[in-house]
Amino acid sequence: MTKTINLTLKVWRQKNSQAKGNLETYSAKNISTDMSFLEMMDVVNETLILEGKDPITFDHDCREGICGMCGAVVNGRAHGPEKGTTLCQLHMRHFSDGDVVVVEPFRSRAFKVLKDLMVDRSGLDQIIQAGGYVSVNTGGAQDANAIPVPQKIADKAMDAAECIGCGACVASCPNASAMLFVGAKVSQLALLPQGKPEAKERVVSMISKMDELGFGNCSNERECEAECPKNISIENIARLNREFIKAGVK
Amino acid sequence: MSLNSNIPEGPLHEKWDRHKFKLKLVNPANKRKYTVLVVGSGLAGASASASLAELGYNVKTFCMQDSPRRAHSIAAQGGINAAKNYQNDGDSVQRLFYDTIKGGDFRAREANVYRLAQISSNIIDQCVAQGVPFAREYGGLLANRSFGGAQVSRTFYARGQTGQQLLLGAYGALSRQIAAKKVTMFTRRDMLELVLVDGKAKGIITRNLITGEIEKHVGDAVVLATGGYGNVFFLSTNAMACNVSAAMRAYKKGAFFANPCYTQIHPTCIPVHGDYQSKLTLMSESLRNDGRVWVPKNPGDKRKPNEIPDQDRFYFLEEKYPSFGNLVPRDVASRNAKEQCDAGRGVGETGYAVYLDFKEAIARDGEDVIKRKYGNLFAMYEKITADNPYKTPMMIYPASHYAMGGLWVDYNLMSNVPGLFVLGEANFSDHGANRLGASALMQGLADGYFIIPYTIGGYLAGEGSSTVSVTDSAFGEAAAQVEQTMDTLLSIKGKRTCDDIHRELGKILWDYCGMARNDEGLEKAKHLVNDLRKEFWTNVTVPGSKSELNQSLEKAGRVAEFLDFADLLLEDASSRKESCGSHLNEAYQTEENEARRDDENFTYVAAWGYAGKEKKAQLNKEPLVFENVTLSQRSYK
Ligand SMILES: Cc1cc2nc3c(=O)[nH]c(=O)nc-3n(C[C@H](O)[C@H](O)[C@H](O)COP(=O)(O)OP(=O)(O)OC[C@H]3O[C@@H](n4cnc5c(N)ncnc54)[C@H](O)[C@@H]3O)c2cc1C
Ligand code: SF4
Ligand code: FES
């Protein structure tokens, strides 16, 4: 049932990437428990604007948990306390009246803060550019049913392909590793027959790009899997490691 | 002005082939001398950018998000159509063509729609080659499902995330060209102006959303793939940043805006909860394959859904449309839901919702099967509403979803401004007055992968490479205009926020120009929008400055264009004195409350031309000629 709650927010404010930031306190009043977390932030921002103050900057777009644009660390957890949920799909019914909620940007040496809660995740795009695709030009593809894929394999590939590129795995990893993100893409393509011809080059190239960009190594902390809003399994990291070893054996 | 649609001669099924042969080619070695600016990285923009770069053109691609992979196409759920006839159930190019023309209530061009149906199969081949993990049957072949407005099973899907998987395929192809340095990618950019030199599209002005810097980009052609305008209603299933700004800038530079009143209201969305709501969430149409739509027979029946026995339920779609049942096209399903709620049979807190019930499907197929098909949608529903749809029926209500209208384009997808091409949802081309489910993804990818690579060559070969540079005065003037608009917005310092005004605009349009329209309401809405526009330009408040990251300023620019676009929408709706597809004027209905067309007087595309600030837009008509289908009253009985 709909009810309203009052919260105290402590939000990271930082004017730009050079500025020093700090936590500021705001009160969020009469918040309907049917609201999403971002709708609650909208309410706070509307008040700030009317007071002539700078609203809190945060990334968001689809608000359906699919574009991967939103994300912040809420009370120490990437995308907040609900498992398998993006920040935009986190609803206020999971909070209680009087709660103090700390909201900080995804922090990682690989992600620069641009303003307030907005960070630069372009490194993830660069990793994909290093080989996260099948090299086929438009036109000339054979009939789609000429490449049968067992349903089980297709399902597994799809499990991996559900990654939304939000970067929560990187932000929650003590080493700022992007192994879950890379593992998801490598797995999807390694599982499917279409990805096989380039499998070796792909895994080597994506990993070396990841290293070059300052993402760290995986030391099996499993924080990434725990915080991933799409429940991407660390099995994908294991598969990534196997693919990497295979690629070394010439 | 006369509009030349450039539809090729010859029989329908030969037109595209003949046209491809006739189009001039750009010599492979010369392609690198041309630069194409592509605005948008959704299915249409990403597929176009990648394909053009593969051919050898230099491409510059722009998007608003921090990554091209986040374009709104990512949110498409249900699937993509193709006339593969893999199910052996009688599908063909001809049938897909006919279903689309009929679904669009005979207000689309035959030649374009036929080409779309022809290309549909290639799209699936291309996407599978890229590694898109479509759903499979046990034997390993591709699976299909049915969508509204069709009696065959031709929709390909990847769980409930088809748009995501198709976009990631196109994003992969784009990423490959970025790595090859054939595409330069500009993320977090807002296109704020189109630049014409000697009447031709030669560039754009963008704002870097991080630094606030105004940038000038020059090209031999400009491709807009900036998506649809559904957010004019404020509440819609579109992503928050979807806008009409780029299209409106082009319109104000002379490009015609076609059929703006064809707005799709999708029948299956999670109903509005409260005043704070920022968007509405779609529950894919594919759910209507297994879900049954009903309301209580007796108005005001407040029992819980599971306590209402079958004889007290009204399965209104099944009863009214026995042959299509729950799978009638969207406009029909939406209107019927509204009709039931208006008659007092609506459910939920507000009375503006109907049930979508899976009980029977779960009993028949088992929860596992249903979960496999729709698991992520059910989970999303539960997250938002805290109700479990495996146990209790979903509640749904129509919401603004898709724009059939858009910038006018000819058969080459070029607007009436030479060198300005428009792809995907941003153009008006293929869906007539109503789009069938799973056809937008098909159209976006057809435009980007398989049409623009041919047609743009025809234009560029005729033009020769451009000598225009950003020092040209047209760029300076356009940039100055952009700066001035921002200065004005920042200086108003009034008392209302952008969202507040946008929300009011949305309510006006929803009430008077939504699922049902009438002349009186449309006139009223015109006045209300006019007043609201004045209110905006005198009483909006936009904090901050233009030389920094400023999300309020971005919004203000969008709301300003939505307000101007609203005029166009209302004007088009009131000038079309008939009902067709999504456009229902209450004065023109059949006895059974279906849309009644007036083919004698309205079988045309309404292409609106800009006449200047505060002047009434000018109507140009492109007559629609049907040589292959017979116009008939749509019937889904
Ligand atoms: C929730 C939902 C579900 C859907 N499900 C289906 C489905 O199952 N099947 C189907 O066929 N269709 C579906 N559709 C419709 C379909 O997704 C869209 O019509 C289609 O994806 C639009 O693609 P596009 O490439 O034209 O535009 P978009 O994907 O909207 O891309 C627009 C691009 O333009 C950029 N842009 C916009 N304005 C500017 C600007 N001013 N400056 C710079 N860049 C700009 C954006 O950054 C973005 O990159 C669905 C739509 C919604 C909302
Ligand atoms: S693996 Fe999970 S957490 Fe990491 S980017 Fe993908 S969806 Fe986000
Ligand atoms: S806003 Fe798109 S995933 Fe949250």
Tell me which amino acid residue B321 is: Y
Ligand 2 center from residue A167 Cα (angstroms) = 5
> How would you class A102 by CB atoms within 10 Å of its CB: exposed for 0-12, middle for 13-18, buried for 19 or more?
middle
Distance in angstroms (rounded) separating the CA atoms of residues B355 and B346:
9
Choose the closest CB to A66 out of B127, B161, B277: B161
Query: Is position B32 annotated as part of the catalytic site?
Result: no
Predicted confidence at residue B637, as pLDDT, reads 82
Mean pLDDT of A209-221: 95
Q: Which fold has domain B268-401?
A: Flavocytochrome C3; Chain A, domain 1 (3.90.700)
Residues 561-620 of B with CB under 8 A from A: none
Kindly give the distance from the C-alpha atom of residue B167 to the centroid of ligand 1, in angstroms, as a whole number.
10
pTM of the model: 0.98
B450 and chain A in contact, CB less than 8 A = yes
Pairs across A and B, CB distance < 8 A: 217
Contacts of A50 in chain B (CB under 8 A): 495, 497, 541
pLDDT of residue A85: 96
**If pLDDT is split at 50, 70 and 90, which confidence band does A187 have?**
very high
Where do the domains of chain A lie? 4-114, 122-136+144-247
Q: How far B280 CA sits from the closest chain A CA (Å)?
A: 9
B548–A contact, CB cutoff 8 A = yes
Element (H, E) at B402: strand B394-403
One-letter-per-residue 3-state SS of chain A: CCCEEEEEEEEEECCCCCCCCEEEEEEEEEEECCCEHHHHHHHHHHHHHHCCCCCCCCCCCCCCCCCCCCCCEECCEECCCCCCCCHHHCEHHHCCCCCEEEEECCCECCEEEEECCEEECHHHHHHHHCCCCCCCCCCCCCCHHHCCCCHHHHHHHHHHHCCCCCCHHHHHCCCCECHHHHHHHHHHHHHCHHHHHHHHHHHHHHHHHHHHCCCECCCCCCHHHHHCCCCCCCHHHHHHHHHHHHHHCC
Cross-chain residue pair B172–A133, CB shorter than 8 Å = yes
Q: Do A62 and B72 touch (CB under 8 A)?
A: yes
The minimum-distance atom of ligand 1 relative to the CA of B157 is 8
**Ligand 3 proximal residues by C-beta, below 6 Å:** A 60-63, 65-70, 86-88
What pLDDT is recorded for position B207?
98
For testing contact with chain B, the best of A64, A92, A164, A236 (most B CBs within 10 A): A64
Question: Which chain A residues are Cβ-neighbours of B382 within 8 angstroms?
Answer: none
* Residue A125, min C-alpha distance to chain B (Å): 7
B313 touches A at CB < 8 Å = no
Nearest to A154 among B133, B173, B277 (CB): B133
Are the Cβ atoms of B278 and A38 closer than 8 angstroms? yes
Residue of A128, A153, A155 to mutate, testing the B interface (most B Cβ within 10 Å of its Cβ): A128
pLDDT of A250 strictly over 60 = no
> What are phi and psi for residue B258, nearest 5 degrees?
-105, 135
Beta bridge partners of B186: B62
Q: List the single residue in B with minimal CA-CA distance to A205.
A: B179
Residue type, B37: L
Q: What's the pLDDT band for A1 if we cut at 50, 70, 90?
A: low
Residues of B in contact with A161 (CB under 8 A): 133, 158, 165, 168
List, as ranges, residues 45-74 from B with C-beta within 8 Å of A. Answer: 47, 50-51, 54, 65-70, 72, 74
| Of B23, B223, B6, B255, nearest in space to B111 by CA | B6
* Cβ–Cβ under 8 Å, residues B330 and B278: no
What token pair was written down for B212?
């606030």
Active-site entry in B95, B330, B503, B558: B330
d(CA B519, CA B539): 30
Amino acid at B279: K
Q: Domain limits of chain B? A: 268-401, 473-601
For atom 4 of ligand 2, the residue with the nearest CA is A169
Torsion-angle region of B135 (φ positive above 0: left; ψ -120 to 50: alpha; else: beta): beta
- Tell me whether B28 touches chain A (CB under 8 Å): no
Please give the CATH number for the structural domain made up of A4-114. Answer: 3.10.20.30
* Domain A122-136+144-247 in the same topology as domain A4-114: no
Report the topology of domain A122-136+144-247: Fumarate Reductase Iron-sulfur Protein; Chain B, domain 2 (1.10.1060)
Give residue for tokens 């096989």: A196
The candidate with the shortest Cα–Cα distance to B5, out of B412, B602, B404, is B412
pLDDT along chain B (637 residues), means of 10: 90 98 95 97 98 98 98 96 97 97 97 98 98 96 89 94 97 98 98 98 98 98 98 97 98 98 96 90 90 95 95 96 92 93 93 96 95 88 94 96 98 98 97 96 98 98 92 98 98 98 97 96 98 98 97 98 98 98 95 91 98 95 96 86
Integer Cα distance of B609 and B258 in angstroms: 9
Closest CA to B493 of B547, B571, B562, B545: B545
Q: Are A138 and B124 within 8 A, CB to CB?
A: no
**pLDDT of amino acid B176:** 98
Q: Is A32 on the interface with B (CB under 8 A)?
A: yes
Within 8 A of A47 by CB-CB distance, chain B residues are none
Across A175-202, average pLDDT: 98
**For residue B160, how far is its CA from the centre of ligand 1 (angstroms)?**
16
Which chain A positions have a beta carbon within 8 Å of B490's beta carbon? none
DSSP symbol at B299? T
Q: What is the CA radius of gyration of chain A?
A: 20
pLDDT band per the 50, 70, 90 thresholds, residue A249 = low
Could you tell me if A68 lies within 8 Å of chain B, comparing CB atoms?
yes
* Burial class, B104, CB count within 10 angstroms (exposed 0-12 / middle 13-18 / buried 19+): buried
Taking CB atoms and an 8 Å limit, are A161 and B65 in contact across chains? Answer: no
Which residue(s) pair with A73 in the sheet? A78, A104
CATH tag, B473-601? 1.20.58.100
Residue B233 has a pLDDT of 97
| Of the partner residues B139, B384, B549, the one whose CB lies closest to the CB of residue A57 | B549
Whether residue A83 lies within 8 A of chain B, CB to CB, comes out as no
d(CA A88, CA A91): 8
Per-residue confidence (pLDDT) for residue B362, from 0 to 100: 97
Give the nearest chain B residue to A38 (CA atoms). B278
Measured CA to CA in angstroms, residue A61 lies from A64, B24, B242, B614 at distances of 8, 41, 9, 32
Query: Cβ A147–B131 below 8 Å, yes or no?
Result: no
Instruction: Tell me the residue type at B424.
Output: G
CB distance from A44 to chain B under 8 Å? no
Q: Of the candidates B318, B330, B284, B283, which has an alpha carbon nearest to the alpha carbon of residue B103?
A: B330
Cα-to-chain-centroid distance, residue B446? 14
**CB-ligand 1 contact for B330 (6 Å cutoff):** no
**Facing A67 at nearest CB: one of B239, B278, B499:** B239
10 Å CB burial of residue B331 (0-12, 13-18, 19+) is: buried
Question: CB of B106 within 8 A of CB of B597?
Answer: yes
A51 within 8 A of A1, measured Cβ to Cβ: no
Q: Is A166 on the interface with B (CB under 8 A)?
A: no
The pLDDT, as a whole number, for residue B1 is 62
